[in-house]
Amino acid sequence: MRERISHALGRDADEQTLRDTLKQQPDNVDAAIALARALLARESPDEALEVIDTVLLTVPGHLRALNAKGVVLDHEGRHHEAQALYRQALQTDPANLMLRNNLKLSLALDRKPAIGNASLQQPQTDGRHALDRSR
C-alpha cells in the first residue's frame, strides 16, 4: 500500500515538474511529450492533446510535436486526423522514418476491424508506450 502511494505521489511530482518546465520553457517539446505520455498513461488523452497543442502554438510545425499529437489521436481512434498530421509533417521531411512508420501504423489501425489483426491494437490501447513512437 505504501509503495502504491509513493509511486502515485512520484508520478504527480513528475507531472508537476514537467508542467513547471513548460511554464518556464513553453517551447520544450521534450517536456511536452513526456507530460503527454504521463497523461496518456493515466487515461487523460484530452489533457495530453492540450499539452501538445500548447507546445505547437509556440513551435508550429515541429515534427516531433506533430508526430506526438498524431500518436495521441491514434490512441483515441481518431486515425484520419492523425494521418493528416503525419502527412503534413512528411511534406516537410519526406524521408522521416518515424513519421512514415506512424502513418503506416495509423492506416493499419484504421483498417483494423476489417483486417482483424489484434497485434496492431497494442499501441492504441496502451497509452504508457504510445508516445515512445515520438522519439
CA gap 122, 75 in Å, rounded:
10
- Euclidean distance between CA atoms 78 and 96, whole angstroms: 22
Nearest by Cα to 123 from 81, 61, 84, 79 = 79
pLDDT over 50 at 127, yes or no: no
Tell me if the pTM is above 0.85: no
Contacts 24+ apart (CB under 8 A), 95-98: 96/63, 98/64, 98/67, 98/133, 98/134, 98/135
* Confidence category of residue 119, pLDDT binned at 50, 70, 90: very low
Q: Per-residue confidence at 118, pLDDT binned at 50, 70, 90? A: very low
pLDDT beyond 50 at 9: no
Q: In the predicted model, what is the mean pLDDT of residues 96-120?
A: 78
Q: Which residue has the higher pLDDT, 131 or 48?
A: 48
Model confidence at 134, in pLDDT bands (50, 70, 90)? low
Q: Residue 5: its pLDDT value, please?
A: 46
With bands split at pLDDT 50, 70 and 90, how would you rate the model's confidence at 130? low
pLDDT at site 111: 87
pLDDT at 101 over 60: yes
Please report the pLDDT score of residue 131 as a whole number.
65
Q: Are 58 and 27 in contact (CB under 8 A)?
A: yes
Domains and CATH numbers, the chain: 2-134 (1.25.40.10)
- Give the count of beta carbons closer than 10 Å to the beta carbon of residue 109: 21
The answer to whether the CB of 134 falls within 8 A of the CB of 71 is: yes
